[in-house]
Chain A
Amino acid sequence: MPTQKTVAVTGNVLVAEAFRQCAPDVVPAYPITPQTTIVEEFAKFVANGRVHTEYVTVESEHSAMSASVGASAAGARVMTATSSQGLALMWEELHIAAGMRLPIVMANANRALSAPINIHCDHSDIMGARDTGWLILFAETAQEAYDNTIMAVRIAEHHDVMLPVMSTLDGFITTHSIDRAEMMDDETVAAFVGSYVPENALLDTDHPVGHGNFAGLGGPYFEFKHSQRLAMERSRGVVKSVGAQWSKICGRPFGVVEGFGMEDAEVAIVVLGSTAGNARHVARGLRESGVKAGVLKIRCFRPFPYAEIAEALKGVKAVAVMDRSESFGAEGGPVFLEVRSALYDLEKRVPVVDYIYGLGGADVKTELIERVFTDLGEIANGAAAPAGLVYLGAR
């Protein structure tokens, strides 16, 4: 019988609890703000004998992911966590983990990238990893970070997927704020994630296999990449079915996108992560005063839910995409580019405006969200959409 207890903890503490409950065999760990409290909490579990995990205190994030690759190929369940510069340092290894089809689960505390150095939230780090072949889940709250992390293990290790998954939460806003959440009992989580049964494990020494072989010189590199694409496509169904199963146990909904007021929205904001709460708060107020405002939160960014997004936005008169990262020189931020592409096949063209916001932890006040809805209202009434992207609230 699943039993949940209400806790008041930070997102990072809850992610660390999720790690413990998923019983990883190996956790390579390297500290970086604001991820640190995840690996610190986990170190306590190790020191107190609450986990059987081999905790490998590596000398860099590059080695954290390198050791993760080795341990996962060896046949272990592997989890780790990073942020920002650490994720950037791992970049090479992110591709390798995915290309070798290793179901590693990693938490990322979304944080700005240098320069200038900044330790606060934005999505520059994670967007740099969007084409690495990892599945990427975004949490709005500590609760979602917890749920996503648990589901990530099931999704990654699913036979039809076998790809690494990132469970991301916004730096400081979600990692360090104390939030109310429901934590599942250990047995229920253990039963849900199950025991990892690896294929082609290095440690099956009676059946030697080669991992990371050379496929150049006209070799099947192209075909390997195709099979990776197919696995990512298959993951769409797995993400949903695992979400539905977890939802049934914990009672909380899970959608690859989650709408608020989208049934009849005329103006809508598309958003990832913690800002979804601010956006909903503002939209709720506007709806009370008769504005048909909606919010579409993307919870699963990879694979990108383009069909669900097109379906949700097809009747909207004006859409704002909130990008908490830059793609300098592109027409807009990464979320904008993908959302607008998702809408291309709609019969009726929907105006889409890109708002770059909150870089390096810049405050996302409700007035800013209100301004976005005001802009959208004008566009919906026939005003021209602003040319180019808008740096929302830049001084």
Chain B
Amino acid sequence: MATIKELSHREDRLEGGHRLCAGCGASIAVRQVLLGAGETPIVAGCATGCLEVSTTIYPYNSWKVPFIHNAFENSAATVSGVEAAFKALKRAGKIPADKKVKFVAFGGDGGTYDIGLQSLSGAMERGHDMVYVCYDNGAYMNTGIQRSSATPMGAWATTAEVGKVGQGKPQRRKDLTSIIAAHNIPYAAQASISDWKDLAAKSEKAFAVEGPAFLNVFSPCPRGWRIPYDATVEIAKAAVGTAFWPLFEIEEGTWRYTKRSVTRENRKPIEEFLRPQGRFKHLFKEGNEELLAQVQSEVDWNFEYVLKRCGL
């Protein structure tokens, strides 16, 4: 694991000046993840979404590494093709046998949990030597805050409206990290932009393994979550502290909880994560007490599940 001093000397591979919103969690996630690749050359792919449109407005491009955007649902398949080309061109002698390149595919939760799930599952199953990174901000933010299968229960979204009858998204979230872990790939982890050291360490491991690796990175969206632009990291900390977003990793099948300071006993009530966010404000209205309790019980259930998988 690199020290903060070492990390600070590494080149930032996503240049500033892109058009992402102030306080966007996605660019923080990308920069922290790419630090984990060290000095090795990288080829990056990205699904259609905020990150892609905001960093590649022709003729500008913020990526200081070779970059490919193909479409929404196929970041994993696209990068799997790049990685396959690397293997073949080495075999053909067109690329030196000792050349090392890392491959990374990014996608938001819409492009990963929903429309890109098949493409991701296929790429993981085929065993490509690549890292897939989901920056999870819990909705289709690029198209205007529509609900995805990563949107938390109870959250308002423009397709899960709050009204006389509806109170935001009625369904629970999909547990994508477990789904990918079930592919029995060498490395999968859940991380947050608030815990940079944990994330950088996980990224290093993900890039170090031979074969597929997956990182699910919690990446707040001030615009969609209705929080101030300077609250990004704080709200991510609250997600970890309330165990809404437990930090863990699965290394060769072994689950490990990596945020030992947050326990069953001291985890904060979910209200600390929900209350600062405009997308949850209806949960605190009179008459929604039961719904709020249900959200808490969902979080508890999921935390218990993760801890048990981690043998705690």
Chain B residues lying within 8 Å of A211, measured Cβ to Cβ, are 67-69
Say yes or no: is A251 at the interface (Cβ < 8 Å to chain B). no
Known: A203-B86, A214-B52. A70 touches B119 (CB 8 A): no
A-B contact pairs, 25 of them (CB 8 A): A26-B84, A26-B88, A52-B91, A56-B84, A59-B122, A66-B77, A67-B84, A69-B78, A70-B85, A75-B89, A203-B43, A203-B66, A203-B82, A203-B86, A204-B66, A208-B63, A208-B64, A209-B66, A211-B67, A211-B68, A213-B58, A213-B69, A214-B52, A214-B53, A217-B57
Question: How far is it, in angstroms, between the C-alpha of A70 and the C-alpha of B77 when the chains are bound?
Answer: 8
Candidates A25, A26, A59, A202; contact of B68 at CB < 8 Å: A202
Known: A56-B80, A59-B122. A25 touches B85 (CB 8 A): yes
| Interface size, chain B (Cβ < 8 Å) | 46
Question: How far is it, in angstroms, between the C-alpha of A370 and the C-alpha of B101 when the chains are bound?
Answer: 62
Chain B residues lying within 8 Å of A212, measured Cβ to Cβ, are 56, 68-70
Candidates A58, A69, A72; contact of B122 at CB < 8 Å: A58
Complex contact B71–A96 (CB within 8 A): yes
Say yes or no: is A354 at the interface (Cβ < 8 Å to chain B). no
Question: How far is it, in angstroms, between the C-alpha of A68 and the C-alpha of B169 when the chains are bound?
Answer: 37
Chain A residues lying within 8 Å of B4, measured Cβ to Cβ, are none
Question: How far is it, in angstroms, between the C-alpha of A230 and the C-alpha of B288 when the chains are bound?
Answer: 61
Chain A residues lying within 8 Å of B81, measured Cβ to Cβ, are 26, 28, 56, 66-72, 74, 78
Chain B residues lying within 8 Å of A75, measured Cβ to Cβ, are 85, 89, 94
Say yes or no: is B144 at the interface (Cβ < 8 Å to chain A). no
Complex contact B53–A70 (CB within 8 A): no
Say yes or no: is B125 at the interface (Cβ < 8 Å to chain A). yes
Chain A residue nearest in CB terms to B92: A52
Chain B residues lying within 8 Å of A208, measured Cβ to Cβ, are 63-67
Chain B residues lying within 8 Å of A210, measured Cβ to Cβ, are 56, 61, 63, 66-69
Complex contact B80–A205 (CB within 8 A): no
Complex contact B85–A71 (CB within 8 A): yes
Of listed B41, B89, B118, residue having the most chain A CB within 10 A: B89
Please give the distance in Å from A177's CB to the nearest CB on chain B: 33
Say yes or no: is B126 at the interface (Cβ < 8 Å to chain A). yes
Candidates A63, A76, A213; contact of B119 at CB < 8 Å: A63
Candidates B56, B85, B118; contact of A60 at CB < 8 Å: B118
